[in-house]
Amino acid sequence: MTDITSLTLTELVKNIKDKNLSSTEITKAFVERSEKSKELNTYITEDFTSAINKAKKFDEKPNFDLKLPGIPIAVKDLFCTIGVKTTAGSKILNNFIPTYESTVTQNIWNQGAILLGKLNCDEFAMGSSNETSFFGNVQNPIDKNLVPGGSSGGSSSSLTANLTPVTIGTDTGGSIRQPASFTGTVGLKPTYGSCSRYGIVAFASSLDQAGPMSKNVKDCSLLLEVISSYDPKDSTSIEFKRNKYSEELTNNIKGKKIGIPKEYRVEGMSNEIEELWKKGIEYIKECGAEVIDISLPHTNYALPAYYIVAPAEASSNLARYDGVKYGFRTKGENLIDMYEKTRSDGFGNEVKRRIMIGTYVLSSGYYDAYYLKAQKVRRLIKKDFDQAYSKVDAILTPSTPSSAFKIGEKTNDPISMYLNDIFTVPVNLAGLPGISIPAGVDKKGYPLGLQIIGKAFDEQTILNIAYSMEEKINFKNKITDWWIK
Amino acid sequence: MTIDLKTIKHIAKLSRISLEDEKAQKLATDLSSIFEFIEKLNELNTKDVAPLTSIAETTLKFRKDEVKSENLREKILKNSPSDNEDFFVVPKVVE
């Protein structure tokens, strides 16, 4: 039989239900491979001993009616896990042990899954390369010294390296879809309000969403089905009829109308991306869908608006880290001095930069010019999508303007780093669902992704489109295991 | 737009982040280029556009005012760097 860790979630679930594999065998296989993969630096906290114990317990009294029976899963370290250290990739939360569980992770455990550990990410999810983490860079299994994307970089790397069968990330401006694109995996950001934000370390509350990351679309639909739920503990959680995404998954997209927005042909985008996009359009036509040219005229304003809204909300959310209630404190001469020194030592440069941008745009005299202006532009961006969706069912774009870059390549130029999210940010601003699927490789052999954007609450349609394209594209990641010790 | 050193120090103060001069200079450069980028928004006339304040257009639901969690005081205080078993401890505030 093939290596256990290379199986998909769907295959693992079937093997467990057919009693070909036990939860203990599966969990041990992922733990052993993770032990040999330390060079990737994907884990901040390992919970391996406890995972194996839980697997044994599951095998003693298995419940095969669950959706994730005895499946070990590692999650981004932005989800609070009761009794297990949760850092958000930051020094300031280095000793934080939550007294509660996030709803999304609770949903996963309720379906029989087992926590493997907490995965590295950009500090407070602020970054596109996982280089802002206090716990160091993460390697992309595709090639040495290549970033795995961010902020869910530990998640994308673990998934590609077969250290976890699926994982969950969070996406505020592209933090699931961009790392998925950089690692040849599937990542979905659900509609705002689909997955509860309760127990997720907050970055920008009006944009943050948790979502599944997986090796294929089928696994993605199953994990979404598990994590998406109405939650009274999150005041922005929305009550709507959620599909049985995995059961309703179909490759029949005949007659669906797919929009191609001309504004996503940005300056400086490589030919390879352009070609990939064209190929994607051909695949969609072959699947029997209709392709329609559309316009999203305010696309170019999404990134500037995002860099007002997101830092503004972050500066407010991160005010709570002041050296009083959480583990890290630097001594000061008085209370204010203690606050200032703690925050200066406890936050990394990118986080400080964003807190300061946010503080500035919210400060007296600047609020109207920046924050209010950005909220107005956000309305225009949402309107663009509303108008497009009167004509089409979904929209196809590239996921990122380039493939993964080298570690250190963009750290000195914040703007060039921000431009990574040019195709993903509009989706967060409009609160829509978006999925990135691997669609090819560039000259260097690095994966490239295509993004399908859907109508609000219509995750099923983008999953179906992704599913039918996946069959045509037939993408296979080439992993050499170069990091295995 | 250029953000000068004085403004940076003012923002740092508001943000409760202490800043050495060297770092302040670097931040002034970074923030200036970021605000230059952000100011692209001024190309748009938004006079008659209503701000989008919430993407989830729902009204808040009422719930019963009940205590649901157990007593977590000890566990919560444990996460703090300094406590005296009953309270978070901070440097002296009153002279």
pLDDT band with cut points at 50, 70 and 90 for residue A383: very high
Q: Which residues of A touch B33 (CB under 8 A)?
A: 414-415
Number of alpha carbons in the 13 Å side-chain half-sphere of residue A166: 31
Q: What is the DSSP letter of B47?
A: T
Alpha carbons A133 and A138: distance in angstroms, whole number: 9
Is it the case that residue A1 has pLDDT exceeding 70? no
What residues contact residue B68 under an 8 Å CB cut-off, 6+ apart?
none
Distance from CA of B68 to the nearest CA of A (A): 11
> Pick the catalytic residue: A128, A175, A228, A237?
A175
pLDDT tens across A422-437, in order?
A: 999 999 999 999 999 9
pLDDT band with cut points at 50, 70 and 90 for residue A146: very high
Regarding the domain delimited by B5-43, which CATH topology (the fold level of the hierarchy) does it fall under? Histone, subunit A (1.10.20)
Is it the case that residue A327 has pLDDT exceeding 80? no
pLDDT for res B69? 80
pLDDT tens across A246-277, in order?
A: 999 999 999 999 999 999 998 878 889 999 99
Q: Which residues of A touch B11 (CB under 8 A)?
A: 356, 359-360, 363
pLDDT for res B58? 74
A151 is catalytic: yes
A322: nearest Cα among A305, A340, A334: A340
> H-helix or E-strand containing A116?
strand A114-119
- Inter-residue contact A165 to A73 (CB < 8 Å): yes
CATH class of A4-247: alpha beta
Q: What is the pTM of this model?
A: 0.97
Mean pLDDT, chain A, rounded, equals 96
Concatenated DSSP letters for A213-282?
A: EESSHHHHHHHHHHH----TTSTT--------TTTS--S--TT-EEEEEGGGS-TT--HHHHHHHHHHHH
> Pick the catalytic residue: A28, A54, A76, A410?
A76
pLDDT tens across A34-57, in order?
A: 999 999 999 999 999 999 999 999
- Inter-residue contact A297 to A263 (CB < 8 Å): yes
Q: How far is CA A19 from CA A23, A64, A71, A176, A455, in A?
A: 10, 10, 13, 33, 40
Within A44-149, where are the H helices? 48-60, 103-110
For chain A, the structural domain boundaries read: 4-247
